[in-house]
Chains A and B, each alone.
Chain A
Amino acid sequence: MLRRLRYPSYFLPFLFLLILGLLPFIINNEYILQVFIMFLFNAYLASGWNIISGFAGQLSLGHAAFVGIGAYTSTILFVQWGISPWIGMIFGGVIAAIFGWLIGYPVFKLRGPYYALATIAYGEIIRIFIQNTKAVGPIELKGAEGILIPFKGSSPALFQFETKAAYYYVALAMFLLVLLLSYKIKNSKMGYYLSAIGNDQDAAESLGVNTSKMKLTASAISAFVMALGGTFYAQFLLYINPQGVLSGDFSTEIAVIGIIGGEGTVFGPVLGSLILTPLSELTRIYLGGRFAGVHLLAYGLILMAVVTHIPHGVIGTFSKLYHRILLKLGDPVVSAKTGAGKTL
């Protein structure tokens, strides 16, 4: 293994990982770290979305609902009953997974645009419900006011840290875990089955694929992942409100990252976030304060340009480029392979 690190196809990813791992030591600027956290967080969410929308081809435009469920569950458990968000996180994940399953059951009957529209609808229903509900029994949702999370200083056991670097590492860990999960799914029976479903449901059924069970399982896993992200969001901002964590725009944002990057691939969402997060930050930084709206105008134009000129996600273009770089570096492993897409 170590010997293989001589090959660029091994040491480049390793180098990338190393840089990510040591980043807080390299960059002593909390703002840049913040941007990196947002990059990891967005990549995490888009990867979670990708499990159902990319792998299984069911375009969801309501995934903020699951982020919200996660954020609300762990936050309520923490604020009202003092349960550590680390534990609440798992609860949130499980509740979101159950939700994903329950919602999926009827909704998966729909195909194409109807499915997408239904996801918008359930996202909105959950947002409107939480926004207008003060409490359900003993559970205080606090409606539109949102829930404030008391900051107890540095207490890792309570998912609260003084330094940005700590949050960074949590985000990095979650990011790596979701990548690992994606990779595992993609390369397992389930991944093949989901892919088959995304291509042709009837044919998949004929090969013994229980399509509805598969989709529900993927939906539940996806929801679980999103919910964990919700807890991170809550603990990072220490404030959640329905207009923020449950908004339709948030859902769209997640989907846009996934689609721009390349649906159904393990690294597509990462690439999407790698491009869109800084793009959104840069346009806002340089254009945001000057003329109202210019930054989003520029962002929108760039988005349109990418869709028009780079079809089906930047991952295809990127992997060709990456492949070429590897060849330039004289990588013996890669040159043997033919399909560039295979390296990702």
Chain B
Amino acid sequence: MIILEAKKLTKSFGGLMAVADVSVTVNSGELVGLIGPNGAGKTTLFNMLSGYYKPTTGEVYFRGQDITKLKVFETSDLGIARTFQIVKPFGKMTVLDNVMVGAFAKTGHKKEARDKALEVLDFVGLFNAKDNLAESMTLGGKKRIELARALATEPELLLLDEVVAGLNPSEVKGVIEIIRKICKDKRVTIVMVEHVMQAIMALSDRIIVMNSGRKIAEGTPEEVANNPEVIQAYLGRGMTKSARG
């Protein structure tokens, strides 16, 4: 079943075409990776999917409903949650309070929200840090807070923007595990933009590759990794060498 469908999305910023005529479909329960070199238009596309940008042309459908013109909080109400590439924790609030903000999306009761938040914190492995101020957490901690916060809204579709970027290998492993659990155990559909190949290759059912605002390839990780156009455009000199080595 198709959960998210983007039709011919185009976005231009003052003459500059950031995304040109890109269509994307995401099936329920799937984990889709979105990759491409910097400036390829991934983030712009991502922001249109999550409602932060309104596309210049094209539409976005969620469960068949046109959400192109909806406000961000309205898409959230429908069951779409996201994280941010540059983390945006509520710095002056505790970790628990951060996640409770998310949990309040489904309840008005503080106790219920708190229980839900604690459950999610346990799930992402932050239970012991629940009373820390969010701003005092490491980058990895902050990324997990964002994940937990988004999860607490009980989304059907989760959009992850470079969720493992900047993490060290062991942290990356931990987060990959969490994402896998979210997708497989909680049955949440996930679209993730990612730079870290290790993560995207390990997780994705399907990968969409973008370059210069266009979709240049789509397929399983293996298919994409062996696509010469992708290697040429995305991996560049250094990476191709190392791929060979």
Contacts and interface: CB of A to CB of B under 8 A. Distances in A.
Which of A202, A204, A211, A339 has the most chain B CB atoms closer than 10 A to its own CB? A204
Contact of A210 (B73, B82, B146, B152): B73
Contact of B113 (A189, A198, A203, A338): A189
Interface in B52-96: 52, 71-73, 76-77, 81-82, 84, 88-94
A208 B77 contact: yes
A199 B110 contact: no
Interface string A159-189: 0000000000000000000000000000111
Interface string B107-120: 11010010000000
A188 B90 contact: no
B93 A199 contact: yes
Contact of B76 (A196, A206, A339): A206
Interface residues of A, number: 23
B36 interface: no
A111 to B, nearest CB: 15
A208 B110 contact: no
Contact of B82 (A206, A209, A338): A206
A209 B91 contact: no
Given A189-B110, A195-B90, A199-B91, A207 B105 contact: yes
Given A196-B93, A202-B88, A207 B76 contact: yes
Which of B94, B104, B107, B113 has the most chain A CB atoms closer than 10 A to its own CB? B104
B150 interface: yes
Nearest to B131: A339
A196 B84 contact: no
A191 to B, nearest CB: 9
A208 B105 contact: yes
B72 A203 contact: no
B211 interface: no
B101 interface: yes
A207 B88 contact: no
Interface in B112-157: 113, 131, 146, 149-150, 152-153
A210 B72 CA distance: 8
A193 B76 contact: no
Contacts of A188: 108, 110
A203 B142 CA distance: 13
A250 B71 CA distance: 38
B50 interface: yes
Contacts of A339: 94, 131
A30 interface: no
Given A187-B110, A206-B81, A193 B91 contact: no
B58 to A, nearest CB: 21
A205 B72 contact: yes
Interface in B10-65: 50, 52
A189 B113 CA distance: 9
A200 interface: yes
Contacts of B90: 195-196, 199-200, 203-204
Contacts of B102: 207
Contacts of A206: 50, 72-73, 76, 81-82, 84, 150
A122 interface: no
Nearest to B152: A207
A203 B93 contact: no
B97 interface: yes
A239 interface: no
A86 interface: no
B73 A209 contact: yes
Contacts of B91: 199-200
Interface string A133-154: 0000000000000000000000
Q: For the complex of A and B, list the 6 residue pairs with the smallest distance between their C-beta atoms, beginning with the closest.
A: A208-B76, A199-B90, A203-B88, A205-B72, A208-B105, A189-B104
Interface of A: 187-189, 192-193, 195-196, 198-200, 202-211, 264, 338-339
